[in-house]
Amino acid sequence: MARLDSIQALRGLAAAFVVVYHSGLALGGADAPALNWLTDNVIKRGHVGVDVFFVISGFIIAWVAVLARPQPERPLSFMIRRCCRLAPPYWTMSAIHALLLNPVTPAVFAASLAFLPTATGHAPYYGYPALYVGWSLNYELAFYAAFALGLLLAGRRALLVVLGVFALATLVLPWWRFGALAADPTQGYPFATPWLAMASNPLVLEFLLGCGLAWAYARWRHLLTPAIAVGMLATGCAAFALSLPLVGPDFSLAGRGLPAAALLAGAVAAEHAGVLRVPRVLVWLGELSYALYLTHPTVIEGVKRLMPELAPGQTALQLLRFAIDAGLALALALLLHRWVELPGIAAGRRLARR
C-alpha cells in the first residue's frame, strides 16, 4: 500500500494541537482582545486533536487490514501488530509519569497497563489512568478488539461486523437498558461497568466515520478529479476551522467528529488527485505523533512544577514556556520513538509472521 502522507501530516498536526492545549498556553490580557479570542476559541479547543486521531485510526485500520490487501489480515496477526505498536511506548511513559510525577494505586496502574477504564462516570474519560492521555488509548484498544472480532467472523467483510458491534453498543443496548439515546459524549450512559460505559459512548462512532471514509476511498477514489479534490479540501478545512469557535468546548460527535472526518476526506482526496504535496517536515512530525502524544504530559507537568504560574498578559514568558514544553516533549518523543516504539513495531511484525 502506498503511504498516504496527508494522513501522517494530520496525525502530526493533531498531536501538536493537543500539546498546545495541554500546555495551558494563555495569551492576551486587558489590552489584547484578539489574543484573548485566540486563547478561548482555538488554543482551548485543542482536545479536538483526539477526534482527528480517532477518525484517522478508523481509516487506517480499515485500509491496511482489509481494503488495501488482496486478503484480509489474520485476526491474531492484527492484534499482535497493533498491541506491539501501542503498548510498549505507553507502558514506558506510564511508568515514568507515575514514578516521577503522579503516583497512583497499584490497581489504577494495572488498569492503565491493561487499557481499562476505571470509573463509570466522568464521560468520556471514565477515570484517568496513570498517564492521563491514556484514556483515549482505552478507546483505541476497544476499537482494535472490535475489528479483530470482525476479521475473525467475517474476513473481508469485517467492517460490517464492526458496524454491528458499535451499533449494538451505542444504540441497541442503551435503548434496551435506558429507553433513550445520548448524542453527547460528555454524558454517556450510566452502565454499571466502566468498560461497557466507555464502549457505549457515542465517541466510539468516530472510528466508524474513519472506516466509512476508507471504504468510500477504496470504492470511488478513481472518480476524484483535481477540481473535486480541491473542493473537498476547502470544505474540510473550512468545516474544521469553523467548528473550533462555533462548537462548545466539550466533545461532540457532530460538532467535532464530522468536521474532523471532512478534513481527513479532503486531505486524502487532494493528495490522491495530485493537488496536495505534503511537506516532509509534517510527515516527520506525523511519524513522531504517537510518541509526542505520550511524552508531552510528563514534560508539561514537570516544567509547570519548576516554573512559576504565569498570567495571560505575560505573553513573552507564556511563549517561552511553551517553547520549552514543545522542545523537551519533542526531544523525549524522538528518544521514545527510536528506542521503544520502532523496536516494538519490528517485534510485532516478527511475531505476526509466525
Query: CB under 8 Å to 55, separation ≥6 — which residues?
Result: 206, 207, 209, 210, 213, 257, 260, 261, 264
**CA-to-CA separations, 81 to 151, 211, 325, 349, in angstroms, rounded:** 14, 19, 31, 6
pLDDT in tens, 176-220: 999 999 999 999 999 999 999 999 999 999 999 999 999 999 999
What cell does 205 get?
462512532
Query: CB under 8 Å to 234, separation ≥6 — which residues?
Result: 266
pTM (two decimals): 0.97
| Mean pLDDT per 10-residue section of the chain, whose length is 354 residues | 86 98 89 91 96 98 96 97 98 98 97 97 96 98 98 98 98 96 93 96 98 98 97 98 91 95 98 96 98 98 92 90 97 98 98 90
CA-CA distance, 102 to 94, in Å (whole number)? 9
pLDDT in tens, 153-182: 999 999 999 999 999 999 999 999 999 999
